[in-house]
Structure 1
Amino acid sequence: MQNRLRWGVVATGGIADVVTGDLRLLPDAEVLAVSSRALPKAEAFAAKHGIPRAYGDYADLLADPDVDVVYVATPHVQHHEVSRAALEAGKHVLCEKPAALTSADLRDVVDLARERGLFFMEAVWTRFNPLVTRLGDLVAAGEIGEVRSVRADFGFTLPHDPAHRLWNRDLGGGSLFDLGIYPVSFAHLLLGEPEVVHAHGSLVGGVDAELGMLLGYPGGAHALLGSSLVSPLKDGAVVYGTKGLVEFPEAMYNPARMIVNGVEHTHAQEGAGYVPQLREVVARVAAGEVESPSMTHDDSLAVLRTMERAAAAVGLSYEGVR
């Protein structure tokens, strides 16, 4: 690896566009290549972002010996396939969430990364937001006492269209795996993996249109979480402790404000908000590590197990989706 970590971006959708913009803000990273199933799309994306190499197939990008790390931004259903292929090609991987649709597929990728000594991380940018990081520190310091309850929601209204990826089971659609993963990961950060998972919601065309979750932890601590494609949920979060509370008034997945026992804290966002996460990848790869302590393989597996339990409670399953 050269002094600058050389990235390849797989897919050219909205999230790839925003994250690539943030990647270009890092002085020790270079976006070297991009791929799309349609070469003209890859070429247009490359021209927009000043990327020197464009490929019409991700296999060609993975065969490029100059690419060090791959950012997987495909639809959910392809995450396991592309991540596995990238690791087999000797590339480090940052994969958009959810990193896989089943625990078995995620375990397969994690085991391969560890076996090959390659870095692999699920891209949950919330874990690297400076205010969320500060939340972890103040909770550890006892600022609000023992955490007893977490409330978090993420939802918006999206007109039903079976062709849209969020309404299409074959593309890994639904509110839980695309939006609900943020509240679940947020609760996991504070309370760990739950003992009990209750869920209630509605299915439309084989995917969940909305889902409410009650997660139960030892000693009575709990989390009330929600995701929706049919209601504009508040998108905030509250953490209740025995000595106080922390509020995220909006965008709990990328908060700009945090109120701790009535005192407001803010931060100046870098780029579109993905810079801290991308900086972490660069640092861990440079250090020769296979995972980030802020978003470990076990974290990803535990969150996915929780989502699978919630999904099963409403009859949602992605088994067999490829």
Structure 2
Amino acid sequence: MKWGILGLGRIAAQFAQDLQLVDNAILHAVASRTEAKSKSFASAHDAEKYYDSYHDLLADQEVDIVYIATPHNAHMEWAIKAMEAGKHVLCEKPLAVNRQQVQSMIEASQANNVFMMEAFWTRFNPSVREIILRVKDGELGEVNFINADFSFPTNASPESRLFNLELAGGSLLDIGVYPLFLAYVLMGMPNEINASAVFHETGADEQMSAILKYDQGIAVTMSGFKSQSDMVARIYGSDGSILIDPHWHQTDGYTMIRNNKLSRHVLPPLGKGFTYEIMECHQCLSKGKIESELWSHKDSLNLIQITDKIRKKINLHYPFE
């Protein structure tokens, strides 16, 4: 399977390293807006070709699937262009910035009969997959409370992708989607959402907290760029609880508590952990699928609807919308 990468930042570098650990995965081509960066990235990660134009990579007939790691605001544009060029797509999270954009991407996947998946690597983490199965099998009884966060301090400039509203910056879409993902995948779509935020001078959300209300309980989530949280996710049910080890979104284990007895479960990931979403892409493509059953188009649509509602609650809008 020959891969191309659009957008060559820090996450793309980690992804490229993990790509080398997956059987039958070849990094064929990479593209940046500058030749120097593209050439340097290709050299560092053994890519066969490099381009200083995204269009040129999409025109490369040998590329089977494209990993899109551009800033959030460019996800829809380049994912759709890739699919219209006949390429399969793995697009970084968030898949897009709002429901309308995600819907357009899903329609492009269907119209061109190509695979597309949001790169929600946490969904494929071995520990998280096992936890989801145990919860679904009722080992915790009815889950009634989730407490998860993702927060770290940063001195990033106002022009950085973290704080630039033109790039859909802010903690919600960058890291807040992780705790929201956990609530969604374990408890489903909430009946009610309350949210509040602290804003950066640029207008981006620097810190955000949301309470998701369900018939059976609540989920409390937080994301931010102001402090380092413990990054332990906590799942509570009527018959037990699970604590996911830090950093929980890329964890290598968890503790399960039932009947006042603790059991440890350790599942070290292969590489950084991007390996598993890569494997999922390969498996889906081998079966001729255009979406994953583990993280479907509908799942991406549901999650972005949750973030849309939170943005409405905290009055967060992006200039390009």
Indicate the TM-score class for this superposition, using the shorter chain for normalisation.
Answer: over 0.9
Aligned mates of 2:271, 2:225 — CA distance in 1: 27
Residues 240 and 246, structure 1, Cα contact 8 Å, conserved in 2: yes
User: In 1, distance between residues paired with 2:283 and 2:255?
Assistant: 30
Structure 1: gaps (5+ residues):
none
Give the AA of the match of 1:190. L
1:259-301 deviation digits (Å, cap 9, x = unpaired):
0112111112201111111100011011110111111111111
Q: Verify the 8 A CA contact 2:235 2:241 in the aligned structure 1.
A: yes
Contact 2:253 2:268 (8 Å CA) reproduced: no
Q: Which amino acid aligns with 2:151?
A: G
Cα offset, 1:27, TM superposition: 1.7
Q: Does 1:126 align with 2:119?
A: no
Q: Do the aligned partners of 1:102 and 1:319 also contact (CA within 8 Å) in 2? A: no
| Counterpart AA for 1:18 | Q
Any conservation in 2 of the 1:258–1:265 contact (CA below 8 Å)? yes
Cα displacement string for residues 205-231 of structure 1 (whole angstroms, at most 9, x for unaligned residues) = 1110001100011x2421000000112
Do 1:36 and 1:57's aligned partners in 2 also have CA atoms closer than 8 Å? yes
In structure 1, the residue matched to 2:65 is 69
1:206 alignment partner in structure 2? 203
Please state how far the C-alpha of 1:319 moved relative to its aligned partner: 5.7
Q: CA deviation at 1:320?
A: 2.1
C-alpha separation between the residues in 2 aligned to 1:93 and 1:292? 12
- Deviation, structure 1 residue 248: 1.0
Check if 1:40 corresponds to 2:58: no
Q: Deviations over 1:3-47 (max 9, x none)?
A: xx1100001110000001101111211110000000111111111
Determine if contact 2:127/2:253 at 8 Å carries over to the other structure: yes
Q: Secondary structure at the match of 1:165?
A: coil
Q: Secondary structure at the match of 1:115?
A: helix
Give the TM-score normalised by structure 1.
Answer: 0.96
- Alignment of 1:284 onto 2:284: yes
What is aligned with 1:50?
Answer: 46
Per-residue displacement from partner, 1:68-124 (whole Å, max 9, x unpaired)? Answer: 000001111111111010001000000000110111011000111012211000001
Could you tell me whether the CA contact under 8 Å between 2:166 and 2:319 is conserved in 1?
A: no
Which structure 2 residues correspond to residues 130-145 of structure 1 after superposition, within 5 A? 130-145=126-141
Structure 2 residue identity aligned to 1:288: G
> Are the aligned partners of 1:102 and 1:318 in contact in 2 as well (CA < 8 Å)?
no
- Over aligned residue pairs, what C-alpha RMSD do you find? 1.0
Q: Distance in 2 between matches of 1:58 and 1:180?
A: 28
Q: Tell me, yes or no, if the aligned pair for 1:256 and 1:266 is still in contact at 8 Å.
A: yes
Task: Tell me the distance in 2 between the aligned counterparts of 1:260 and 1:134.
Answer: 12
Work out whether residues 147 and 242 of structure 1, in 8 Å CA contact, stay in contact via their aligned partners in 2. Answer: yes
Structure 2 unpaired stretches of 5+: none
Where in structure 2 are the equivalents of 1:187-206 lying within 5 Å? 187-204=183-200, 205-206=202-203
Using the alignment, how far apart are the partners of 2:271 and 2:156 within structure 1? 32
Q: 1:232 maps to what in 2?
A: 228
Q: Does 1:295 align with 2:295?
A: yes
| Structure 1 Cα separation of the partners of residues 154 and 295 of structure 2 | 29
Correspondence for 2:247: 251
CA contact (8 A) 1:202 1:314 kept: no
Q: What residue number does 1:23 align with?
A: 19
What are the residue-to-residue correspondences of 1:102-113 with 2, within 5 Å?
A: 102-113=98-109
Distance 1:157 1:48 in 2: 29
SS of the residue 2:162 aligns to: helix
Aligned to 2:274: 274
Query: Sequence identity of aligned pairs in percent?
Result: 35
Residues of 2 paired with 1:145 and 1:309: CA distance? 29
Aligned to 1:309: 309
